[in-house]
């Protein structure tokens, strides 16, 4: 039997609430992800099972740590280490813009987290600023593995309805069911460009507009520049006016040659040509002035980047016994997509 005091609401996802809590015995703050199963006749959603499976096996300073998981009422509770802010809040804090050394340090942390996931054969499939959280010490960590999937081979089909639209790789926009962890590398390139531009690079409002923006920006792909393009499921469903693409100077105004060089290694149509995260860590971008800063010089949530929430206090009784055997049997079951 464990007791938590719920301090307030942090956010709301597709399957439930994320609350800030405090473990009464230790006094440590935690994030409580409450998932309700009322809408799911078949039990626990696959996305929740994937997240628990992945996080139980992962051990990295750059992945949010899962502390516990157990049933509660008509749902389930995942207990995470508490992260008081995130990259989205940092990018939208006009009063405290990120410096170039801070951007480089965040990018290095992100790449280390992505490299670790990929070394474990895991695709995140939803990398975006809102899923990159920041600890009290200023460390960036990858969160929300609800869409994560173990990558087995390029011949196995996966769902193309993954990744938030602005960070969705072009093969997914064309309906690809066979893809690799390179979809994460495209998202990393979008995030790096956004940190330098202070606004999203491809802000489409619909899937069609998203693809149109990508094509207009990077240029119209062809079978020669992107082998296999014409075989993608949605290739013949829509056409766009031919575009030669924009110059990188227009895409990343004011950016140094090194950041342009790194972004363009990620934002490539052929997924197999995108720079792996491990190799990106030794790119010249990280070794030219200004250099990445120390973690001690990174923004801290206490400096004004704290997430806003309405403060409430009440006790939640969370039983953690008698149900673990059932949970483990569920976790052992295969998941699709």
Other C-beta atoms within 10 Å of 262: how many? 23
Give the tokens for residue 322.
């008698």
**Within the chain, which residue ranges are assigned CATH 3.30.200.20?**
2-83+308-332
- Residue 302 confidence (pLDDT): 59
Give the tokens for residue 46.
């696959």
- Residue 48 confidence (pLDDT): 67
**Within the chain, which residue ranges are assigned CATH 1.10.510.10?**
85-297
Other C-beta atoms within 10 Å of 196: how many? 21
Catalytic (active site) residue 59: no
- Residue 337 confidence (pLDDT): 56
Beta-carbon-side half-sphere exposure of residue 84 (alpha carbons within 13 Å):
15
Spot the catalytic one: 126, 184, 207, 336: 126
- Residue 45 confidence (pLDDT): 64
Other C-beta atoms within 10 Å of 128: how many? 21
Give the tokens for residue 211.
């693809």
Which element (helix H / strand E) includes 35? strand 29-36
Q: Residue 209 to residues 192, 231, 274, 292: CA-CA distances in angstroms?
A: 21, 21, 23, 35
Fold of 2-83+308-332: Phosphorylase Kinase; domain 1 (3.30.200)
Beta strands in 53-158 (DSSP E): 66-72, 75-81, 85-86, 122-123, 132-134, 140-142, 149-150
Q: Residue 169 to residues 139, 176, 329: CA-CA distances in angstroms?
A: 26, 10, 34
- Residue 276 confidence (pLDDT): 98
- Residue 113 confidence (pLDDT): 97
Task: Render each residue's pLDDT in the chain as its tens digit; 337 residues.
Answer: 367 777 777 776 655 678 787 877 777 888 888 777 655 555 566 666 666 777 777 889 999 988 887 777 767 788 888 888 899 999 988 888 999 999 999 999 999 999 999 999 899 999 999 999 999 899 999 988 878 887 766 667 777 777 789 999 999 999 998 999 999 999 999 999 999 999 999 999 999 999 999 999 999 999 999 999 999 999 988 889 999 999 999 999 999 999 999 999 999 999 999 999 999 999 999 999 999 999 999 988 754 444 443 333 333 343 334 334 434 443 344 444 5
- Residue 268 confidence (pLDDT): 98
Q: How far apart are CA 165 and CA 142, in angstroms?
A: 18
DSSP state of 205: S
Q: How far apart are CA 82 and CA 66, in angstroms?
A: 10
Q: Residue 89 to residues 100, 108, 137, 143: CA-CA distances in angstroms?
A: 17, 19, 16, 15
Beta strands in 114-174 (DSSP E): 122-123, 132-134, 140-142, 149-150
Q: How far apart are CA 169 and CA 221, in angstroms?
A: 14
Model confidence pTM above 0.85? no
CATH classification code of 85-297: 1.10.510.10
Question: At a CB cut-off of 8 Å and minimum separation 6, what does 225 contact?
Answer: 269, 270
Q: How far apart are CA 35 and CA 26, in angstroms?
A: 24
Question: At a CB cut-off of 8 Å and minimum separation 6, what does 257 contact?
Answer: none
């Amino acid at each position: 039997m464990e007791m938590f005091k719920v301090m307030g609401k942090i956010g709301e996802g597709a399957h439930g609430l994320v609350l800030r809590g405090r473990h009464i015995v230790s006094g440590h703050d935690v994030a409580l992800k409450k998932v309700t199963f009322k809408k799911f006749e078949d039990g626990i959603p696959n996305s929740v099972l994937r997240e628990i499976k992945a996080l139980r096996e992962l051990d990295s300073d750059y992945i949010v740590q899962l502390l516990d998981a157990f049933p509660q009422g008509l749902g389930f509770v995942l207990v995470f280490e508490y992260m008081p802010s995130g990259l989205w809040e940092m990018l939208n804090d006009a009063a405290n813009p990120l410096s170039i050394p801070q951007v480089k340090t965040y990018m290095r942390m992100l790449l280390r987290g992505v490299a670790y996931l990929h070394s474990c054969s895991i695709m995140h499939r939803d990398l975006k600023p809102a899923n990159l959280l920041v600890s009290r010490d200023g460390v960036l960590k990858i969160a929300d593995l609800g869409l994560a999937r173990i990558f087995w081979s390029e011949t196995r089909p996966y769902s193309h309805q993954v990744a938030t639209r602005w960070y969705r790789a072009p093969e997914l926009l064309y309906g690809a069911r066979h893809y690799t962890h390179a979809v994460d590398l495209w998202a990393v390139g979008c995030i790096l460009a956004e940190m330098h531009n202070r606004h999203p690079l491809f802000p489409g409002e619909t899937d069609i507009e998203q693809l149109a923006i990508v094509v207009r920006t990077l240029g119209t792909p062809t079978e020669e520049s992107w082998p296999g393009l014409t075989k993608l499921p949605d290739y013949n469903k829509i056409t766009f006016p031919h575009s030669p693409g924009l110059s990188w100077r227009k895409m990343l105004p004011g950016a140094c040659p090194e950041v342009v060089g790194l972004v363009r290694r990620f934002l490539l149509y052929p997924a197999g040509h995108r720079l792996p995260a491990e190799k990106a860590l030794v790119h010249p971008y990280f070794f030219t002035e200004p250099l990445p800063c120390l973690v001690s010089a990174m923004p801290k949530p206490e400096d004004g980047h704290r997430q806003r929430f309405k403060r409430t206090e009440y006790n939640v009784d969370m039983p953690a016994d008698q149900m673990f055997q059932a949970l483990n049997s569920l976790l052992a079951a295969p998941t699709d997509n």
